[in-house]
Amino acid sequence: MLTNNVWHDVDEYFIDKLIPFDETMENVLQTNKNAGIPEIDVSPTQGKLLYLLAKIKGAQNILEIGTLGGYSSIWLARALPESGKVYTLEIEPTYAEVAKQNILKAGCSSKVEVIVGNALHSLPTIKNSGPLFDLIFIDADKPNNPQYLKWALELANSGALIIADNVVRNGEVIDDKSEDERVQGVRQFMDLLEHEPRIESTAIQTVGIKGYDGFILAIVK
Protein backbone atom coordinates (compact mmCIF):
# COMPACT_ATOMS: atom_id res chain seq x y z
CA MET A 1 0.00 0.00 0.00
CA LEU A 2 1.34 3.43 -0.93
CA THR A 3 1.98 5.81 1.95
CA ASN A 4 1.73 9.56 2.33
CA ASN A 5 5.54 9.66 2.14
CA VAL A 6 5.41 8.28 -1.41
CA TRP A 7 2.76 10.85 -2.44
CA HIS A 8 4.91 13.61 -0.96
CA ASP A 9 8.11 12.39 -2.63
CA VAL A 10 6.44 12.07 -6.04
CA ASP A 11 5.05 15.60 -5.74
CA GLU A 12 8.53 16.86 -4.88
CA TYR A 13 9.88 15.08 -7.98
CA PHE A 14 7.26 16.74 -10.20
CA ILE A 15 7.97 20.13 -8.63
CA ASP A 16 11.71 19.70 -9.22
CA LYS A 17 11.18 18.72 -12.86
CA LEU A 18 8.30 20.98 -13.90
CA ILE A 19 8.20 24.03 -11.64
CA PRO A 20 11.48 25.98 -11.53
CA PHE A 21 12.52 27.35 -8.15
CA ASP A 22 10.77 30.65 -7.58
CA GLU A 23 12.17 32.72 -4.74
CA THR A 24 9.18 35.04 -4.80
CA MET A 25 6.69 32.23 -4.25
CA GLU A 26 8.86 30.62 -1.58
CA ASN A 27 8.97 33.96 0.22
CA VAL A 28 5.18 34.20 0.02
CA LEU A 29 4.80 30.87 1.81
CA GLN A 30 7.37 31.81 4.43
CA THR A 31 5.78 35.22 5.00
CA ASN A 32 2.39 33.55 5.44
CA LYS A 33 3.85 31.08 7.94
CA ASN A 34 5.56 33.87 9.89
CA ALA A 35 2.25 35.75 10.02
CA GLY A 36 0.46 32.74 11.50
CA ILE A 37 -1.70 32.12 8.44
CA PRO A 38 -2.81 28.47 8.28
CA GLU A 39 -0.63 26.44 5.89
CA ILE A 40 -3.55 25.40 3.69
CA ASP A 41 -2.53 27.06 0.43
CA VAL A 42 -2.67 25.04 -2.75
CA SER A 43 0.52 23.10 -3.44
CA PRO A 44 2.97 24.30 -6.12
CA THR A 45 1.68 21.67 -8.56
CA GLN A 46 -1.90 22.75 -7.88
CA GLY A 47 -0.94 26.41 -8.23
CA LYS A 48 0.66 25.63 -11.58
CA LEU A 49 -2.53 23.81 -12.59
CA LEU A 50 -4.60 26.92 -11.81
CA TYR A 51 -2.12 28.98 -13.84
CA LEU A 52 -2.35 26.60 -16.80
CA LEU A 53 -6.15 26.41 -16.68
CA ALA A 54 -6.35 30.20 -16.71
CA LYS A 55 -3.93 30.27 -19.66
CA ILE A 56 -5.84 27.58 -21.56
CA LYS A 57 -9.08 29.45 -20.95
CA GLY A 58 -7.54 32.75 -22.06
CA ALA A 59 -9.06 34.31 -18.97
CA GLN A 60 -9.32 38.08 -18.66
CA ASN A 61 -11.19 38.36 -15.37
CA ILE A 62 -10.86 35.89 -12.49
CA LEU A 63 -12.79 35.66 -9.23
CA GLU A 64 -11.17 33.93 -6.27
CA ILE A 65 -13.20 33.24 -3.14
CA GLY A 66 -10.67 32.76 -0.34
CA THR A 67 -7.35 34.63 -0.51
CA LEU A 68 -5.38 33.60 2.58
CA GLY A 69 -1.93 35.10 1.97
CA GLY A 70 -2.29 35.48 -1.78
CA TYR A 71 -0.29 32.44 -2.96
CA SER A 72 -2.94 31.15 -5.38
CA SER A 73 -3.89 34.73 -6.28
CA ILE A 74 -0.37 35.29 -7.60
CA TRP A 75 -0.43 32.05 -9.61
CA LEU A 76 -3.68 33.16 -11.24
CA ALA A 77 -2.50 36.73 -11.82
CA ARG A 78 0.64 35.53 -13.59
CA ALA A 79 -1.54 33.74 -16.16
CA LEU A 80 -3.38 36.94 -17.13
CA PRO A 81 -2.58 39.43 -19.86
CA GLU A 82 -1.61 42.93 -18.72
CA SER A 83 -5.24 44.03 -18.97
CA GLY A 84 -6.49 41.10 -16.87
CA LYS A 85 -7.67 41.21 -13.27
CA VAL A 86 -8.08 38.88 -10.31
CA TYR A 87 -10.69 39.90 -7.75
CA THR A 88 -9.97 37.93 -4.58
CA LEU A 89 -12.18 37.88 -1.49
CA GLU A 90 -10.85 37.44 2.07
CA ILE A 91 -12.85 37.68 5.28
CA GLU A 92 -9.88 38.02 7.67
CA PRO A 93 -8.35 41.54 7.54
CA THR A 94 -4.93 40.47 8.82
CA TYR A 95 -4.66 37.76 6.15
CA ALA A 96 -5.76 40.25 3.50
CA GLU A 97 -3.07 42.72 4.55
CA VAL A 98 -0.38 40.03 4.28
CA ALA A 99 -1.77 39.04 0.89
CA LYS A 100 -1.61 42.62 -0.38
CA GLN A 101 2.06 42.87 0.60
CA ASN A 102 2.86 39.50 -0.99
CA ILE A 103 1.06 40.49 -4.19
CA LEU A 104 2.92 43.81 -4.29
CA LYS A 105 6.31 42.12 -3.83
CA ALA A 106 5.42 39.63 -6.57
CA GLY A 107 4.82 42.51 -8.99
CA CYS A 108 1.15 41.63 -9.42
CA SER A 109 -0.59 44.49 -7.62
CA SER A 110 -1.88 45.99 -10.85
CA LYS A 111 -3.63 42.72 -11.66
CA VAL A 112 -5.07 41.81 -8.26
CA GLU A 113 -7.71 43.52 -6.15
CA VAL A 114 -8.08 42.14 -2.63
CA ILE A 115 -11.60 42.71 -1.31
CA VAL A 116 -11.87 42.40 2.47
CA GLY A 117 -15.03 41.19 4.15
CA ASN A 118 -17.55 38.39 4.20
CA ALA A 119 -17.70 37.04 0.64
CA LEU A 120 -21.47 36.69 0.78
CA HIS A 121 -21.65 40.42 1.44
CA SER A 122 -19.07 41.32 -1.22
CA LEU A 123 -20.48 39.19 -4.04
CA PRO A 124 -23.71 41.21 -4.52
CA THR A 125 -21.61 44.38 -4.83
CA ILE A 126 -19.41 42.73 -7.44
CA LYS A 127 -22.47 41.63 -9.37
CA ASN A 128 -23.84 45.18 -9.39
CA SER A 129 -20.63 46.95 -10.36
CA GLY A 130 -18.01 44.46 -11.51
CA PRO A 131 -17.30 42.34 -14.57
CA LEU A 132 -18.43 38.85 -15.37
CA PHE A 133 -15.73 36.24 -14.92
CA ASP A 134 -13.98 33.72 -17.15
CA LEU A 135 -12.66 31.62 -14.24
CA ILE A 136 -13.91 31.32 -10.67
CA PHE A 137 -11.87 29.58 -7.98
CA ILE A 138 -13.77 28.62 -4.82
CA ASP A 139 -11.44 27.88 -1.91
CA ALA A 140 -12.98 29.30 1.25
CA ASP A 141 -15.20 28.10 4.12
CA LYS A 142 -16.81 24.87 2.94
CA PRO A 143 -20.20 25.27 4.69
CA ASN A 144 -20.90 28.19 2.33
CA ASN A 145 -19.87 26.33 -0.84
CA PRO A 146 -23.51 25.97 -1.97
CA GLN A 147 -23.98 29.74 -1.74
CA TYR A 148 -20.69 30.38 -3.50
CA LEU A 149 -21.76 28.15 -6.36
CA LYS A 150 -25.04 30.03 -6.74
CA TRP A 151 -23.15 33.31 -6.90
CA ALA A 152 -20.61 31.85 -9.31
CA LEU A 153 -23.42 31.13 -11.72
CA GLU A 154 -24.63 34.72 -11.40
CA LEU A 155 -21.15 36.07 -12.10
CA ALA A 156 -19.86 33.70 -14.78
CA ASN A 157 -19.52 34.33 -18.48
CA SER A 158 -20.80 31.61 -20.78
CA GLY A 159 -18.03 29.04 -20.99
CA ALA A 160 -16.46 30.09 -17.69
CA LEU A 161 -14.49 27.59 -15.64
CA ILE A 162 -15.44 26.97 -12.02
CA ILE A 163 -12.88 25.22 -9.83
CA ALA A 164 -13.58 24.23 -6.23
CA ASP A 165 -10.87 22.89 -3.94
CA ASN A 166 -10.92 20.50 -0.98
CA VAL A 167 -14.01 18.51 -1.93
CA VAL A 168 -12.88 15.04 -0.85
CA ARG A 169 -12.33 15.83 2.85
CA ASN A 170 -10.02 12.81 3.19
CA GLY A 171 -12.84 10.60 1.93
CA GLU A 172 -15.47 11.89 4.33
CA VAL A 173 -17.51 13.40 1.50
CA ILE A 174 -19.31 10.06 1.07
CA ASP A 175 -20.52 10.07 4.71
CA ASP A 176 -24.07 11.40 4.59
CA LYS A 177 -24.27 11.25 8.39
CA SER A 178 -21.16 13.31 9.01
CA GLU A 179 -21.52 15.94 11.72
CA ASP A 180 -18.74 18.02 10.17
CA GLU A 181 -20.35 21.12 8.66
CA ARG A 182 -17.54 21.33 6.11
CA VAL A 183 -18.38 17.87 4.83
CA GLN A 184 -22.08 18.69 4.70
CA GLY A 185 -21.32 21.93 2.86
CA VAL A 186 -19.40 20.03 0.21
CA ARG A 187 -22.16 17.42 -0.05
CA GLN A 188 -24.80 20.14 -0.58
CA PHE A 189 -22.49 21.71 -3.18
CA MET A 190 -22.32 18.33 -4.95
CA ASP A 191 -26.11 17.99 -4.85
CA LEU A 192 -26.43 21.36 -6.57
CA LEU A 193 -23.97 20.33 -9.27
CA GLU A 194 -25.88 17.09 -9.80
CA HIS A 195 -29.11 18.91 -10.60
CA GLU A 196 -27.81 22.14 -12.15
CA PRO A 197 -28.44 22.08 -15.92
CA ARG A 198 -26.24 25.13 -16.55
CA ILE A 199 -23.03 23.33 -15.54
CA GLU A 200 -21.03 20.36 -16.78
CA SER A 201 -18.62 19.12 -14.11
CA THR A 202 -16.32 16.41 -12.89
CA ALA A 203 -14.37 15.66 -9.71
CA ILE A 204 -10.72 14.64 -9.53
CA GLN A 205 -9.22 12.93 -6.50
CA THR A 206 -5.65 14.01 -5.73
CA VAL A 207 -2.73 12.90 -3.61
CA GLY A 208 0.53 14.71 -2.94
CA ILE A 209 2.19 16.98 -0.42
CA LYS A 210 -1.29 18.19 0.61
CA GLY A 211 -2.36 14.62 1.39
CA TYR A 212 -5.52 13.02 0.02
CA ASP A 213 -8.07 15.46 -1.38
CA GLY A 214 -9.60 16.56 -4.66
CA PHE A 215 -11.24 19.32 -6.64
CA ILE A 216 -14.24 20.05 -8.85
CA LEU A 217 -13.71 21.26 -12.40
CA ALA A 218 -16.82 22.63 -14.10
CA ILE A 219 -17.75 24.66 -17.15
CA VAL A 220 -20.73 26.96 -17.39
CA LYS A 221 -22.81 26.38 -20.51
**What is the phi/psi pair of residue 159, to 5°?**
90, 5
Mean pLDDT of the chain: 96
Burial 21-38 (b: 16+ CB within 10 A, else e): eeeebeebbebbeeeebe
Average pLDDT over every residue of 125-129: 93
Task: Output the CA torsion sign for 43, 47, 53, 59.
Answer: positive
Average pLDDT over every residue of 128-143: 95
Percent of the chain topping pLDDT 90: 95
Q: Give me the pLDDT at residue 2, please.
A: 63
Q: Give me the pLDDT at residue 220, please.
A: 98
Distance separating alpha carbons of residues 25 and 116, to the nearest angstrom: 22
CB-neighbour burial class of residue 209 (10 A; exposed 0-12, middle 13-18, buried 19+): middle
Average pLDDT over every residue of 98-115: 98
Maximum distance among all Cα pairs of the chain, rounded to whole angstroms: 52
Q: Quick one: pLDDT band at residue 130, thresholds 50, 70, 90?
A: confident
pTM (2 decimals)? 0.96
pLDDT at 1 over 70: no
Q: Each residue of 67-83: pLDDT tens digit?
A: 999 999 999 999 999 99
pLDDT at 4 over 90: no
